[in-house]
Chain A
Amino acid sequence: MAHKYDAPRCIVVAILAAVVLTSSSVVYGSGYQLNEHGARAVSMGGAFVARAWDASAIYFNPAGLGFSNGLNVMAGATLILPSTTFTGPYPNNTEWKMNSLAFYPPNAYVTYNFDNGFAAGVGVFTPEGLGTDWPQNWVGKFIITKVNIQSFDINPTIAYALGDVISVGVGFDYVLGNVTLQKYNSTQFSDPAGNPVEPFIDMKGNANGTGYNFGVLLKPYPNISLGFSYRSKIDFKVDNGTATYSGADGLSALLPSGSVSTSLPFPTTWYAGIAYEGLNWSVEADYQFVGWSAYKQLNITFQNPGSGNPAPIVGDYKDSYILRVGGEYEIDNMWTARAGVFYDKNPVPDSYDLPILPDADRLGLNIGLGVNLTENVGLDAFYMFLPFKQRTITTSAYGFDGTYNTTANLMGLDISYRL
Chain B
Amino acid sequence: MKPRFFASRVLLPGLFVLIISVLVVSCGDFKKSSVVAPPSNGSVDFSVYVSIGNSLTSGYQEGALYESAQEYSYPADIAREAGVYASFKQPLMPNPGTGAMMSITSLSGPTISTASPTQTSPTDASSLLRPYNNLGVPGAVLYDMIDTTNFLQKSIARSNPFFAMILRNSAFGNSVVAQALNLHPTFVSVWIGANDVLGYAASGGTVGTLGPGSGPTDPNQWGLMFAGMMNALLTGAPNAKFVVGNLPNVTAIPFFTTIPAVVVNPATRQPILINGQPIPLIVQKHDASGNLIVAQANPQTDLICLTALDSMEAGVGIPASIPGGTGRPLPDQYVLDSYEIAKVENAISGYNSAIAAVAAANPSRVAVFNANTALDAFAKDGYVAQGVDLSASYITGGFFGLDGVHPTSQGYAYIANLFIQTINQKFGSNIPMVAISSVPSSIPLAGLTQAQKARLWQHVSYSDLKPMLQLIQRTDLR
Cα A68 to Cα B330 with chains together (Å): 89
A387 lies within 8 A of B445 (CB): no
How many Å from the CB of B83 to the closest CB on chain A? Answer: 13
Stretch at the interface among B17-25, B116-124, B464-472: B17-25
A22 contacts chain B at the CB level, 8 A cutoff: no
Residue in A139, A143, A197, A337 whose CB lies within 8 Å of B10: A337
A306 contacts chain B at the CB level, 8 A cutoff: yes
Cα A71 to Cα B234 with chains together (Å): 90
A89 contacts chain B at the CB level, 8 A cutoff: yes
Chain B interface residue count, Cβ-Cβ cutoff 8 angstroms? 60
Interfacial chain B residues near A369, Cβ < 8 Å: 10
Cα A88 to Cα B437 with chains together (Å): 12
| A-B contacts, 18 listed (Cβ < 8 Å) | A90-B36, A91-B430, A93-B432, A139-B438, A142-B437, A188-B397, A189-B443, A190-B445, A253-B454, A331-B5, A335-B9, A335-B10, A339-B14, A365-B24, A387-B21, A390-B30, A390-B31, A390-B35
- In chain A, positions 278-331 with a C-beta closer than 8 Å to chain B are 306-308, 329, 331
Interfacial chain A residues near B6, Cβ < 8 Å: 335
Interfacial chain A residues near B9, Cβ < 8 Å: 329, 331, 335, 337
B387 lies within 8 A of A398 (CB): yes
B249 contacts chain A at the CB level, 8 A cutoff: no
Task: Please name 7 further chain A to chain B contacts, defined as beta carbons within 8 Å, in addition to the given A139-B386, A399-B384, sorted by A numbering.
Answer: A143-B387, A186-B389, A196-B442, A307-B458, A367-B14, A387-B30, A405-B32
Q: Which residue of B lies closest to A254 (CB)?
A: B454
A187 contacts chain B at the CB level, 8 A cutoff: yes
Interfacial chain B residues near A334, Cβ < 8 Å: 1
A254 lies within 8 A of B450 (CB): yes
Cα A307 to Cα B397 with chains together (Å): 16
A254 lies within 8 A of B14 (CB): no
Cα A361 to Cα B28 with chains together (Å): 13
Interfacial chain B residues near A308, Cβ < 8 Å: 457
Chain A residues near B (Cβ < 8 Å)? 85, 87-94, 139-143, 186-192, 194-198, 249-251, 253-255, 306-308, 329, 331-332, 334-335, 337, 339, 361, 363, 365-367, 369, 385, 387-390, 392, 397-400, 403, 405, 407
How many Å from the CB of A317 to the closest CB on chain B? Answer: 20
Cα A331 to Cα B42 with chains together (Å): 62
How many Å from the CB of A258 to the closest CB on chain B? Answer: 15
How many Å from the CB of B32 to the closest CB on chain A? Answer: 5
Q: Which of A253, A306, A399, A407 gathers the greatest number of chain B CB atoms within 10 Å?
A: A399
Cα A192 to Cα B113 with chains together (Å): 13
Given contacts A188-B396, A307-B457, A335-B1, contact A91 B432 (CB under 8 A): yes
B458 lies within 8 A of A194 (CB): no
Cα A66 to Cα B95 with chains together (Å): 78
B259 contacts chain A at the CB level, 8 A cutoff: no
- The A contact surface, by secondary structure, is loop
Residue in B386, B408, B444 whose CB lies within 8 Å of A400: B386
B324 contacts chain A at the CB level, 8 A cutoff: no
B446 contacts chain A at the CB level, 8 A cutoff: yes
Residue in B18, B24, B384, B436 whose CB lies within 8 Å of A387: B24
Q: Which residue of B lies closest to A405 (CB)?
A: B32
B38 contacts chain A at the CB level, 8 A cutoff: yes
Given contacts A140-B386, A189-B444, contact A390 B29 (CB under 8 A): yes
**Contact indicator per residue, chain B 379-404, by CB within 8 Å of chain A (1) or not (0):** 00001111111000001111000000
Interfacial chain B residues near A253, Cβ < 8 Å: 450, 454
How many Å from the CB of A177 to the closest CB on chain B? Answer: 27
Q: Which residue of B lies closest to A331 (CB)?
A: B9
Interfacial chain B residues near A141, Cβ < 8 Å: 387, 437
B473 contacts chain A at the CB level, 8 A cutoff: no
- In chain B, positions 58-107 with a C-beta closer than 8 Å to chain A are 68, 95, 103-104
B171 contacts chain A at the CB level, 8 A cutoff: no
A89 lies within 8 A of B441 (CB): no
A143 lies within 8 A of B36 (CB): no
Cα A387 to Cα B18 with chains together (Å): 12
Residue in B1, B389, B444 whose CB lies within 8 Å of A190: B444
Interfacial chain A residues near B395, Cβ < 8 Å: 188
How many Å from the CB of B50 to the closest CB on chain A? Answer: 25
Q: Which of B31, B396, B433, B457 gathers the greatest number of chain A CB atoms within 10 Å?
A: B457
Residue in B25, B31, B386 whose CB lies within 8 Å of A142: B386
B33 lies within 8 A of A390 (CB): yes
B446 lies within 8 A of A192 (CB): yes
Interfacial chain A residues near B33, Cβ < 8 Å: 390
B388 lies within 8 A of A142 (CB): yes
Cα A405 to Cα B435 with chains together (Å): 20
B447 contacts chain A at the CB level, 8 A cutoff: yes
**Contact indicator per residue, chain B 2-14, by CB within 8 Å of chain A (1) or not (0):** 0001100110011
Cα A363 to Cα B27 with chains together (Å): 13
Residue in A93, A307, A332, A388 whose CB lies within 8 Å of B1: A332
How many Å from the CB of A271 to the closest CB on chain B? Answer: 23
How many Å from the CB of A144 to the closest CB on chain B? Answer: 8
A92 lies within 8 A of B10 (CB): no
A337 lies within 8 A of B445 (CB): no
B408 lies within 8 A of A188 (CB): yes
Interfacial chain B residues near A190, Cβ < 8 Å: 440-445
Q: Which residue of A lies closest to B31 (CB)?
A: A390
A140 lies within 8 A of B437 (CB): yes
Interfacial chain A residues near B32, Cβ < 8 Å: 85, 390, 405
B441 lies within 8 A of A186 (CB): yes
Minimum-distance CB pairs A-B, first 10: A307-B457, A142-B387, A399-B384, A196-B440, A143-B387, A188-B398, A254-B454, A189-B445, A389-B29, A196-B441
Interfacial chain A residues near B398, Cβ < 8 Å: 186, 188
Given contacts A186-B388, A189-B444, contact A254 B457 (CB under 8 A): yes
Given contacts A191-B445, A253-B450, A365-B17, contact A392 B457 (CB under 8 A): no
B289 contacts chain A at the CB level, 8 A cutoff: no
Cα A407 to Cα B25 with chains together (Å): 9
Cα A142 to Cα B384 with chains together (Å): 11
Q: Which residue of A lies closest to B410 (CB)?
A: A188
Cα A306 to Cα B385 with chains together (Å): 25
Cα A334 to Cα B438 with chains together (Å): 59
Residue in B5, B17, B456 whose CB lies within 8 Å of A367: B17
B126 contacts chain A at the CB level, 8 A cutoff: no
B36 lies within 8 A of A91 (CB): yes
B268 contacts chain A at the CB level, 8 A cutoff: no
B453 contacts chain A at the CB level, 8 A cutoff: yes
A399 lies within 8 A of B383 (CB): yes
Interfacial chain B residues near A90, Cβ < 8 Å: 36
A91 lies within 8 A of B30 (CB): no
Interfacial chain A residues near B454, Cβ < 8 Å: 253-254, 306-307
Cα A398 to Cα B384 with chains together (Å): 6
Interfacial chain A residues near B211, Cβ < 8 Å: none
Interfacial chain A residues near B458, Cβ < 8 Å: 307
B39 contacts chain A at the CB level, 8 A cutoff: yes
B34 contacts chain A at the CB level, 8 A cutoff: yes
Q: Which residue of A lies closest to B389 (CB)?
A: A186
A89 lies within 8 A of B457 (CB): no
How many Å from the CB of A80 to the closest CB on chain B? Answer: 16
A251 lies within 8 A of B437 (CB): no
How many Å from the CB of B220 to the closest CB on chain A? Answer: 40
Q: Which residue of B lies closest to A394 (CB)?
A: B35
